[in-house]
Structure 1
Amino acid sequence: MNKGKKIFLILFIIFMAIMLWIGYDISQKTTFPGSKGNLKERISTGEE
């Protein structure tokens, strides 16, 4: 394997690790919309 391929592979692995970490971090801070109950704000008629 030549030097260019090694550098590309190392950068690719670092990039993927960062992307996976960011995705995991975001997923821990948010909730799936369908998992929430029917909140009063969501089912209000908007007449207020």
Structure 2
Amino acid sequence: MKQGWVTLADIARMQSLICDAACRLAERGHWPMAFKQYETFVLPQRRNT
């Protein structure tokens, strides 16, 4: 995967969420998703700081 892609499990772990909540967060944010075997990768939008 290219730089910036993370798994839904990583998102859940970083934000103290369950995997289902991380999936809903990605769907609400319209993050691009890629499905690879048993993992779902997302490309979260970067926050402007």
Greater relative CO, 1 or 2 (CA 8 Å, sep 6+): 2
Structure 1 length as normaliser, TM-score?
0.29
Higher Cα radius of gyration: 1
Between Structure 1 and Structure 2, the one with more helix by share is 1
Between Structure 1 and Structure 2, the one with more strand by share is 2
